[in-house]
Amino acid sequence: MERLFTGAREVRVRAYRQGFGDCFLLALPQGDGEPFYVMIDCGLLLAAPKQRIEAVVRNIIAATGGTVHLAVVTHEHWDHLSGFLDARSLFNDERGTDPEKLTIERVWLGWTEDPTNALAMRLREERGERVRALSALIESAPAGLGSAPMVEKLLSFFGTDLAARQSRTSLALETVVGLARNEAEFLYPGGTPRTLAGVEGVRVYVLGPPENETLLKRSNPRTSASEVYEEKGLALSPELSFFAAAVGSNDEFATLARPFEVASLTPDEAGTDPFFRRTYFDETASWRRVEADWLEFSGELALRLDRDTNNTSLALAFELVPGGRVLLFPADAQVGNWLSWQDVEWANGVTANDLLERTVFYKVGHHGSHNSTLRDLGLERMRHPELIAMVPVDQGSAARQGWSRIPFAPLLDRLQEKTRGRVLRSDDGEALRDRPAPEGVTASVWQAFQDRVIDAGLYYEIPFPLD
Amino acid sequence: MTTSPPPAFRRLRAYLFDPGLSGQIDTAAINEATLRVGWEEALEPGPVGEYLEVVDFDPATGCFYPPVDLNDHILLAQDGLPPSEGTPQFHQQMVYAVAMTTIRHFEQALGRTALWAAREYIEAGQFRREFVQRLRIYPHALREPNAYYSPAKKALLFGYFPAARTNPGRNLPGGLVFTCLSHDVVAHEVTHALLDGIHARFTEASNPDVLAFHEAFADIVALFQHFSYPEALRHQIARTRGDLASQNLLGQLAQQFGEAIGTRGALRDALGFTDPATGIWRPHKPDPALLQQATQAHDRGAILVAAVFDAFLTIYKSRVADLLRLATGGTGVLPAGDLHPDLVNRLAQEAAKSARHVLSICIRALDYCPPVDITFGDYLRAIVTADFDMVQDDERGYRLTIIEGFRRRGIYPRDVRTLSVESLRWKEPKLNLPRGSVKRLVDSLRTEWDLRTNREAAFKLLHDNCRRVHVWLSGLGLDEEAQREIGLALDAESAPATLPRNADGKPVFEVHSVRVARRVSPDGQLHADAVIEITQKRMEEGLGRKFKYRGGCTLLIDLHRLTVKYAIVKSIWNEGRLERERQFRGNPAQVSLRATYSPDPGGRRMAEPFALLHRED
């Protein structure tokens, strides 16, 4: 395998195609001819063999000569983190110097992982509580619980080992922080755009996660913002009361487990009571019983957990030269995160809309699901004629999970239109070279795209000019 | 010893709003009231009666709470148990009393006994439809801030939860809130069940209005139920000095629930909202553009509720204008200070009457709705037509007022040229039926379903009638023009290819329901119509997903004149509507996060369609 070099006036992006998960490598030119390497995420979900992610890490080692200057870890989900554990043996420790292994100089995370930020720590703690409680609930769930498969699969985003009741994602986060030679940095939206040591002209804008708790918890597209249905009040107490009864996870709420201090019958007693035998235990009316219905709330809580975690995504925009092209990496930001960009202010006066207008590479959010690409204030603002979109997705595996709307067909259609057919997917079957021009795209435009992108099987590599 | 006739009513104590208002000095007096519930001779412990069975099992704690016996002489002598949050038997009593009150409003408006939706299931490869006598009520089935009607279980499930720790309003932070003690929540959920009993296909979201209509209708019934309690009404009229458009309890739903989840006010308010920034209540301004933007069922439904409530307020104002002139020597400007109790009384009577009229109009319109794919515009047309049939001469201008209320909220039917009563009324279809064919149908139907009919007999009668209509229509030999007129495709050669055929190769159609609508109009005239719903489906695809595209019609047949009065059509031939449904199903705003992660998001066990708060929207 060969090193990945760049021309003096270009940036190269490798989009890895390991499956349902994100991993990107950016090579940016420094004055000395050695590129500055940025790695964004390293994860793979859905029953794929470890070897897939190991192959990706090996490729990165070869391409970089063994050092990435910066690793960006966007959020605590297994499809963005698994490599740091599953391919742990391929990374050098903080002080390790094995040239065959990958060394990480620095690591960037969203402020939502910042141990000195009280809100961040509260959110993380809630996240941990929820994962533990839901895992325990699923383990002992009754057969009739309709939400169980969904909850279990959502927990897989935390690399959850149900038996050990442990989420491996938080371990993976700690691992990557520990691997880096320098202290981890926690990024807040806005302020002064960041620069990369030795790389001239390139500036990195932090768009999200938002510092506003309401937006952090907002998931779905909705055009009217009625106060009534915002869920900000439904914070933890109804949830804890639910878990207290479901898994007895919290002593503080154990006293609330019973709503009345009056006489009641146990199920055994009720089974012999004439009234309940005639009603609840009537065999011909067994279809009306409500044994598991109350536990369906776990589905709602699992979805909330997924949404809240995705919304903590560290969303970055790489501006290649001042006022020039932009590479957009929103991770799995959902609606609330996207919306918050509108209010972010940078010291140099650039706005989120400027960045969207100039976007030439869009890493499609959350494997192309319906709620991770904002329409009017997102994709519709991306008007650059050179726009390319990359969807890290494995539709077959997603469908086997029952996630038949990932990727979301109407979004793919619109991406095709916006990019004039330049949509790359990690699960593309045919080699790019052999793919016919999409409908409405002229042969010469398509030919130029095919010539520009390297399809190496394991990854796509795309050059972007620095001018 | 002489035998007295049974009493007309059973008096039962209940909260008129919810326990939250009992803790406040100014509302405590009116909040605990005695409801008059139709006397049920054979009421059993539970309560278990003709319509309802309350079964108090809390699965989260495994507790079964013994049923209240409302025939116990101790309870009979004191109007049931006194309101108490800590006594589950009072909860049982209250859900029974409130639900029965709502059922009575329905039956009075429709002139027939109410039926719950049938239980439909497949057993040994055989499709079965079974009569469900009683709606089951579980007062403590959920442990979350929610409540719902479950179409699958024909049951109401109510939740309880600790109030939010921050911003709990008047609730004790962390104190328990019971949704079954909210009058509004109970009325709302039982209305979902009643509506499902009439229109089972309104649970299928084929356009943005269908589920929103369900929500709005349930809210409308719950709101107007407030006006049937004279004490609360007089209290609020006195407090608002007769101005019901200002902030008041009558226009709000589920105060305690709303506050307990931290929304700073009632869960829903037909009149206004509390500004989250300032905490100050402000009236809604009708904005016709809002409807375009609202995609979520509750948001959209709120617009329909506001339109109806607007119409009610206008009617009320016009009904009391003379009273206010009399009371103010002609100026119409009330002097400062409290209103005279006599005036309050008279205003309250007018408000109650206006509310009763509007609610009856809204309920009666259910017999004038299409069988599938309802839109708000269709509902406006249903209201206008139903009211026209009842009161030909619109002396008080109710119909125009309602049309105006809808217009101000941007609710228009898609297919009419003007917003006049004339063009909004449903049309008589041009069918060119052979002489005597309607008479032949009517003679074969059993139409004795009214308020005295045994409900199981009514159920059988309804389904016997369905078979008879099926036979009638199959043998009618309508030409294609007539088929298109009623939106059905009945010929094997011409029907769309995606429409399933039966074993004989004939396009399948289903007679969904045959009801009898009876009413006595103010001029003393007795009217009776057969309301026949016929549906068909096509197996279609849109954006890579298969779905059932449904169409059909509601026919109203005048049982005295023997004519087909109206055909309310959602044509199965309509390609434009199909395309709109495709677009709707592909709209990201319609896709929930749940739908993304579950193979069967429509599965009823997964996502109950009528949750008070939609789980993950």
What's the token pair of residue B43? 């009421």
Could B64 and A265 be called an inter-chain contact, meaning their C-beta atoms sit closer than 8 Å?
yes
What residue spans define the domains of chain B?
A: 1-198, 208-426, 429-576, 587-617
How many Å lie between the alpha carbon of B340 and the closest alpha carbon of chain A? 37
How many Å lie between the alpha carbon of B390 and the closest alpha carbon of chain A? 37
- pLDDT average, residue stretch B278-287: 83
Q: Is a pLDDT exceeding 60 seen at residue B83?
A: yes
On the 0-12 / 13-18 / 19+ scale of CB atoms within 10 A, A32 is: exposed
Identify the band that residue A241 occupies on the pLDDT scale cut at 50, 70 and 90. confident
Of B189 and B447, more confident: B189
The C-alpha atoms of residue B160 and residue B185 are separated, in whole angstroms, by 12
How many Å lie between the alpha carbon of B274 and the closest alpha carbon of chain A? 9
Pairing of strands B155-162, B176-178: antiparallel
Could B588 and A370 be called an inter-chain contact, meaning their C-beta atoms sit closer than 8 Å?
yes
The C-alpha atoms of residue B409 and residue B448 are separated, in whole angstroms, by 40
Could A290 and B160 be called an inter-chain contact, meaning their C-beta atoms sit closer than 8 Å?
no
Q: Is a pLDDT exceeding 90 seen at residue A331?
A: yes
Q: Which residues of A touch B262 (CB under 8 A)?
A: 232-235
CATH of domain B208-426: 1.10.390
Q: Is a pLDDT exceeding 60 seen at residue B599?
A: no
Could B61 and A279 be called an inter-chain contact, meaning their C-beta atoms sit closer than 8 Å?
no
**Mean per-residue pLDDT of chain B:** 88
Q: Is a pLDDT exceeding 90 seen at residue A335?
A: no
What's the token pair of residue A407? 């990727």
Residues within 8 A of B (CB atoms), A 408-467 only: 408-411
The C-alpha atoms of residue A88 and residue A109 are separated, in whole angstroms, by 19
The C-alpha atoms of residue A402 and residue A228 are separated, in whole angstroms, by 32
Q: Is a pLDDT exceeding 80 seen at residue B156?
A: yes
Could B143 and A294 be called an inter-chain contact, meaning their C-beta atoms sit closer than 8 Å?
yes
How many Å lie between the alpha carbon of A361 and the closest alpha carbon of chain B? 23
Query: First and final CA of chain A: distance in angstroms?
Result: 29
| Beta bridge partner(s), residue B22 | none
Identify the band that residue B348 occupies on the pLDDT scale cut at 50, 70 and 90. very high
Could A294 and B59 be called an inter-chain contact, meaning their C-beta atoms sit closer than 8 Å?
yes
On the 0-12 / 13-18 / 19+ scale of CB atoms within 10 A, B100 is: buried
Closest to B596 (Cβ–Cβ): which among A270, A299, A369? Answer: A369
A403 near B CB under 8 A? yes
On the 0-12 / 13-18 / 19+ scale of CB atoms within 10 A, B119 is: middle
The C-alpha atoms of residue A28 and residue A68 are separated, in whole angstroms, by 11
Could A234 and B163 be called an inter-chain contact, meaning their C-beta atoms sit closer than 8 Å?
no
Of A258 and A174, more confident: A174
The C-alpha atoms of residue B571 and residue B86 are separated, in whole angstroms, by 53
Pairing of strands B119-123, B9-15: unpaired
Rg (CA), chain A: 24
- State phi, psi for A41 to the nearest 5 degrees: 60, 165
Q: Which amino acid does the sequence have at A442?
A: T
Choose the weakest-confidence range: A400-409, B212-221, B561-570, B572-581. Answer: A400-409
- pLDDT average, residue stretch A31-40: 92
What's the token pair of residue B7? 């009493």
- The CB density around residue A145, as the number of other CB atoms within 10 Å, is 21
- State phi, psi for B178 to the nearest 5 degrees: -105, 120
| Beta bridge partner(s), residue A71 | A39, A107
Q: Which amino acid does the sequence have at A154?
A: L
What's the token pair of residue A38? 């940025």
The C-alpha atoms of residue B331 and residue B329 are separated, in whole angstroms, by 6
Residues within 8 A of A (CB atoms), B 423-442 only: none
A299 near B CB under 8 A? yes
Q: Which residue has the tokens 């709420």?
A: A253
Cβ atoms of B67 and B54 closer than 8 Å? yes
Q: Which residue has the tokens 């009413």?
A: B519
How many Å lie between the alpha carbon of A111 and the closest alpha carbon of chain B? 24
Q: Which residues of B touch A228 (CB under 8 A)?
A: 258, 263, 267-268, 273, 298
Peptide bond into A407 cis (omega under 30): yes
What would the pLDDT profile of B432-449 be if each residue is shown by its tens digit? Answer: 888 888 999 999 998 888
Cβ atoms of A78 and A43 closer than 8 Å? yes
Q: Which of A176, A168, A157 is nearest to A310 (CA)?
A: A157
The C-alpha atoms of residue A333 and residue A458 are separated, in whole angstroms, by 25
- The CB density around residue B562, as the number of other CB atoms within 10 Å, is 15
Q: What is the pLDDT of residue B29?
A: 81
Query: First and final CA of chain B: distance in angstroms?
Result: 63
Could A294 and B144 be called an inter-chain contact, meaning their C-beta atoms sit closer than 8 Å?
yes
The C-alpha atoms of residue B422 and residue A417 are separated, in whole angstroms, by 46
The C-alpha atoms of residue B192 and residue B25 are separated, in whole angstroms, by 33
| Beta bridge partner(s), residue B136 | B53, B155
On the 0-12 / 13-18 / 19+ scale of CB atoms within 10 A, A133 is: buried
Q: Which stretches of B143-295 are DSSP H helices?
A: 183-198, 210-225, 230-239, 255-260, 290-293
The C-alpha atoms of residue A250 and residue A239 are separated, in whole angstroms, by 11
What would the pLDDT profile of B454-498 be if each residue is shown by its tens digit? Answer: 899 989 999 999 999 999 999 988 899 999 999 999 999 999 999
Cβ atoms of B6 and B41 closer than 8 Å? yes
The C-alpha atoms of residue B390 and residue B425 are separated, in whole angstroms, by 13
B84 near A CB under 8 A? no
pTM, entire model: 0.88
Highest-scoring range by mean pLDDT, A47-61, A228-242, B93-107, B401-415: B93-107
Give the chain B residue nearest A150 (alpha carbons): B598
How many Å lie between the alpha carbon of A321 and the closest alpha carbon of chain B? 35
Percent of chain A with pLDDT over 90: 59
The C-alpha atoms of residue A178 and residue A60 are separated, in whole angstroms, by 19
B421 near A CB under 8 A? no
Cβ atoms of B29 and A238 closer than 8 Å? no
Q: Is a pLDDT exceeding 50 seen at residue A283?
A: yes
Q: Which residues of B touch A403 (CB under 8 A)?
A: 596-597
Give the chain B residue nearest A405 (alpha carbons): B596
Percent of chain B with pLDDT over 90: 55
Q: Which of B429, B376, B414 is nearest to B568 (CA)?
A: B429
Q: What is the pLDDT of residue B588?
A: 65
How far from B114 is each of B82, B200, B454, B457, CA to CA, in Å? 29, 14, 10, 12
Could B164 and A292 be called an inter-chain contact, meaning their C-beta atoms sit closer than 8 Å?
no
The C-alpha atoms of residue A138 and residue A201 are separated, in whole angstroms, by 51
The C-alpha atoms of residue B248 and residue B119 are separated, in whole angstroms, by 40
- pLDDT average, residue stretch A6-32: 93
Could A409 and B544 be called an inter-chain contact, meaning their C-beta atoms sit closer than 8 Å?
yes
Identify the band that residue B605 occupies on the pLDDT scale cut at 50, 70 and 90. very low
The C-alpha atoms of residue A133 and residue B78 are separated, in whole angstroms, by 46
Q: Which domains does chain A show, CATH number per domain?
A: 10-114+183-219+313-465 (3.60.15), 237-293 (no CATH)
Q: Which residues of A touch B122 (CB under 8 A)?
A: none
How far from B375 is each of B110, B182, B515, B577, CA to CA, in Å? 21, 29, 22, 12
| Beta bridge partner(s), residue B520 | B526
How many Cβ pairs within 8 Å bridge chains A and B?
Answer: 249
How many Å lie between the alpha carbon of A370 and the closest alpha carbon of chain B? 6
Q: What is the pLDDT of residue B596?
A: 66
Identify the band that residue B278 occupies on the pLDDT scale cut at 50, 70 and 90. confident
Angle at B365 between CA B360 and CA B368, to 5 degrees: 155
Q: What is the pLDDT of residue B220?
A: 94
What sign does the CA torsion over B19, B25, B27, B28 have? positive
Q: Is a pLDDT exceeding 50 seen at residue A223?
A: no
Cβ atoms of A245 and B58 closer than 8 Å? no
Q: Which residues of B touch A249 (CB under 8 A)?
A: none
Could A229 and B157 be called an inter-chain contact, meaning their C-beta atoms sit closer than 8 Å?
no
* DSSP for B477-506, written as a single string: ---HHHHHHTT----TTTS-TTS-B-TTSP
Could B153 and A290 be called an inter-chain contact, meaning their C-beta atoms sit closer than 8 Å?
yes
Cβ atoms of B92 and B186 closer than 8 Å? no
Q: What is the pLDDT of residue A235?
A: 41
Cβ atoms of B67 and A275 closer than 8 Å? yes
| Beta bridge partner(s), residue B122 | B127
Pairing of strands A23-28, A10-16: antiparallel
The C-alpha atoms of residue B397 and residue B323 are separated, in whole angstroms, by 18
What would the pLDDT profile of A287-327 be if each residue is shown by its tens digit? Answer: 999 988 999 888 888 888 888 889 999 999 999 999 999 99
On the 0-12 / 13-18 / 19+ scale of CB atoms within 10 A, B213 is: buried
- State phi, psi for A401 to the nearest 5 degrees: -80, -10
Could B162 and A238 be called an inter-chain contact, meaning their C-beta atoms sit closer than 8 Å?
yes
Q: What is the pLDDT of residue A251?
A: 52
Q: Which helix (H) or strand (E) holds A170?
A: helix A168-179
Q: Which helix (H) or strand (E) holds A37?
A: strand A36-42
Q: Which helix (H) or strand (E) holds B467?
A: helix B455-474
Q: Which of A182, A186, A173, A174 is nearest to A117 (CA)?
A: A186
Cβ atoms of A337 and A309 closer than 8 Å? no
Could A264 and B63 be called an inter-chain contact, meaning their C-beta atoms sit closer than 8 Å?
yes
Residues within 8 A of A (CB atoms), B 44-83 only: 45-46, 48, 53, 55, 57-67
Residues within 8 A of B (CB atoms), A 192-221 only: 219-221
- The CB density around residue B140, as the number of other CB atoms within 10 Å, is 27
Q: Which residues of A touch B162 (CB under 8 A)?
A: 237-238, 241, 253, 256
